Amino acid sequence: MATSASNYKKTYPISWEQLHRDSKALAWRLLGHDPFKGIIAITRGGLVPAAIIARELDIHLVDTICISSYNWKDKKGNAEMLKTFEGDGEGWLLIDDLVDTGRTAQIVREMVPKAHFATVYAKPAGRPAVDTYITEVSQDTWILFPWDTESQFVTPLVGQDKK
């Protein structure tokens, strides 16, 4: 099922500081689990949270699964697998920034069914695909991650055109 920008009614901007806090909160939640052999980051979105969680859990072995299924606000019809992971994931922690529809999560779950899957953010449709998450957002919200934004001047409200 393809989803386009018109399906998103809200935008939720995430700052670098908030992403760091939320990723650290995810690490706290994961502390109660048996130690993980390593982390598998789902690229590209899972790279930054994986780095933060690796530091907080003192994990030095980090690998990746590279899959491409998004292009800005439009979701591609098919996910493109760019790099896989050897093994069933037993003892590994699988990290991504977000689970949205669950389509990418389903593909990765089939590859590493025994990994513990954690995301920082989760939407209702994809939430059942992950084991642990921190923040739930509505399905009609586009999460704007800090690597997709830049700071710029904004005209004060009194200077903006009134519509």
| Per annotation, catalytic residue among 100, 131, 140, 148 | 100
Out of 97, 131, 148, 161, pick the active-site residue.
Answer: 97
Starting at the edge strand that comes first in sequence, how are the strands of the sheet with 38-43 ordered? Answer: 74-83, 62-71, 38-43, 92-99, 116-122, 132-136
Q: Distance between CA 110 and CA 76 in Å, rounded?
A: 20
Active site residue 96: yes
Among this protein's residues, is 74 annotated catalytic? Answer: no
- Residue in 58, 96, 131, 161 annotated catalytic: 96
Token pair, residue 135, equals 């923040």
Q: Are 130 and 118 in contact (CB under 8 A)?
A: yes
* Residues with catalytic roles: 96-97, 100
